[in-house]
Amino acid sequence: MTQIVSAWRRFFQFDFLKWFYPGMHIKRWLALTLVGVAMMTFGLSYIVREAYLTGFTLPDFMYYVTGQFIPRYIRGVAFMTTAMGLIVFSIWKLNDSLISVLVPNRTRTESLVNTIYTQRFLRRGPKIVAIGGGTGLATLLRGLKEYTGNLTAIVTVADDGGSSGVLRRELGVPPPGDVRNCIVALADAEPLVRRLFQYRFSEGSGLAGHSFGNLFIVAMSGVVGNFEDAIRQTSRVLAVRGQIIPSTLANVTLCARTEDMRTIEGESQIVPSTTNGDGPPDRISEIYLLPENAPAHPDAVRAILEADLIVLGPGSLYTSVLPNLLVEGIRRSVIASSAPKTYICNVATQYGETDGFSVGAHLLTLEEKLGKNVISSVLVNDNLADVIPKAPRSHPVSLDGEPNNRIRLITADVVSEENRYHHDSTKLAQAVMRIYYDRDQVAPLAVEREEDLVGALDS
């Protein structure tokens, strides 16, 4: 009895009104159910009426059960109200039972209507494409998944260090590390499953240093036959909101050239090479991919062209964001897309990559690859501190004046208070969604026609 009273209290909270919101796909079926019950009631009334006319006598206790001592109008309203309550309550509990099986990760404190409303709402959310890699991209996705289910993460595959590098060299698969981070960030799985995917073995011959998630994705590649399907199936297992696509499936190597004309091969070698010695880090003058003509993933190109908003970053400028744009098909599709393009500037400089970089220097580096008038806005953190804990060689990215007239400057508090070297996923997602809703303030800046991208899609 206590459970029934508690359920009714929750049922008649403000959430009850959500059942009647547009797009819930509930009202039509509830109305059809009521029509069916009404027709059954009419049929039953005809049978009872005929029974009375033919002289059928009901037991005496039915006089009290049917409330014949109450006026008929009051009796009718009472029966209709009770019937309506029982119908709605039974449908609600039936759906709750079904959803608890189909959506086992729903918390028991979350109401049924909120679960349905969230799923319907996310499906109607904007198509947002996030381009990058590393922890920055995962942080962004973790926040954005609460606003839309139409997310596409385009991830670099240039990583050649750590567990990803070992698996890449020994098994010939694309590096799974950044893909794993994105899957965990977008997953609706239980927290324990997410922790499992991020678990890193600390000992064991051949296992030390490997992440369980990396091994899982590589094993899935062997089961389903290729890396693409492995990402899809792993995403399905972990109930991922959105999709994760490598920028290219080619076996690419990220290379850098410093200002003193030294060449560095391998993403994992760039920062150690620029910071070698006691002096200041060597500045990177150029980065490029080998081979240079790596084909873009067709699904990535298609997602960019269909996007409502394209987000570059956050993440390591030279080793996470730019490697995607070095794939020609990705670069050209970003330029051609009519969607607003937003760059999320890092909250801090990165030792060995962007030492001393201001917001303008970050933008200038991006424009060297994309060209002018492509990026429509830049999001900059305005919650600054002189010292960044845990990163003594990094400093807050400064804003040295306004960007050029075609780029809209947006400042917001997007830094994580726990680690001021990183963004906060909730703050960052809120700022990005404000940019999306204010997108009409910035005119689209597509400078390459979409039909010119046939080569990118076919490559």
The CATH number that applies at residue 293 is: 3.40.50.10680
Vertex 57 angle, CA 51 and 63, to 5°: 105
- What's the whole-number mean pLDDT along residues 414-427? 92
Residue that finishes a domain, picked among 63, 94, 117: 117
Please give the pLDDT value at position 114: 63
- Residues β-bridged to residue 309: 128
**In this structure, is residue 323 part of a structural domain?**
yes
Question: Do both 324 and 415 map to the same domain?
Answer: yes
Per-residue pLDDT at 148 exceeds 90? yes
DSSP 186-220: HB-S-HHHHHHHH-B--SSTTTTT-BHHHHHHHHH
**In this structure, is residue 209 part of a structural domain?**
no
pLDDT digits (tens, 9 = 90+) for 79-105: 788 888 887 787 777 766 766 665 555
DSSP, collapsed to helix, strand or coil, labels residue 307 as coil
Domain that holds residue 6: 2-117
Question: Do both 140 and 11 map to the same domain?
Answer: no
Across 134-148, 230-244, 383-397, least confident range: 383-397
pTM of the model: 0.78
**In this structure, is residue 185 part of a structural domain?**
no
Question: Do both 275 and 367 map to the same domain?
Answer: yes
Mean pLDDT of the chain: 84
Question: Do both 143 and 30 map to the same domain?
Answer: no
Residue that finishes a domain, picked among 93, 117, 141: 117
Please give the pLDDT value at position 98: 65
Question: Do both 328 and 379 map to the same domain?
Answer: yes
pLDDT digits (tens, 9 = 90+) for 39-79: 888 788 778 777 767 767 767 776 677 777 788 788 778 87
pLDDT digits (tens, 9 = 90+) for 192-244: 888 999 999 998 888 999 999 999 999 999 999 999 999 999 999 898 999 99
How many C-beta atoms surround the C-beta of residue 376 within 10 A? 22
Question: Do both 264 and 149 map to the same domain?
Answer: yes
The number of distinct structural domains making up the chain is 2
Per-residue pLDDT at 189 exceeds 60? yes
Q: Which residue has the higher pLDDT, 440 or 379?
A: 379
DSSP, collapsed to helix, strand or coil, labels residue 154 as strand
**In this structure, is residue 46 part of a structural domain?**
yes
Residue that finishes a domain, picked among 87, 117, 147: 117
**In this structure, is residue 307 part of a structural domain?**
yes
Question: Do both 444 and 377 map to the same domain?
Answer: yes
pLDDT digits (tens, 9 = 90+) for 312-328: 999 999 999 999 999 99
- What's the whole-number mean pLDDT along residues 260-285? 88
Question: Do both 345 and 277 map to the same domain?
Answer: yes
**In this structure, is residue 358 part of a structural domain?**
yes
Question: Do both 80 and 134 map to the same domain?
Answer: no
Please give the pLDDT value at position 33: 79
Please give the pLDDT value at position 196: 93
Q: Which residue has the higher pLDDT, 11 or 56?
A: 56
- What's the whole-number mean pLDDT along residues 257-279? 88
Question: Do both 372 and 280 map to the same domain?
Answer: yes
**In this structure, is residue 387 part of a structural domain?**
yes
Q: Which residue has the higher pLDDT, 228 or 5?
A: 228
- What's the whole-number mean pLDDT along residues 109-138? 80
Question: Do both 16 and 145 map to the same domain?
Answer: no
Distances (CA, A) of 378 to 136, 148, 203, 340: 16, 21, 43, 11
Question: Do both 293 and 415 map to the same domain?
Answer: yes
**In this structure, is residue 232 part of a structural domain?**
no
Please give the pLDDT value at position 318: 96
Work out the pLDDT band at 301, boundaries 50, 70, 90. Answer: very high
Please give the pLDDT value at position 448: 42
Nearest CA to 180 out of 195, 192, 170 is that of 195
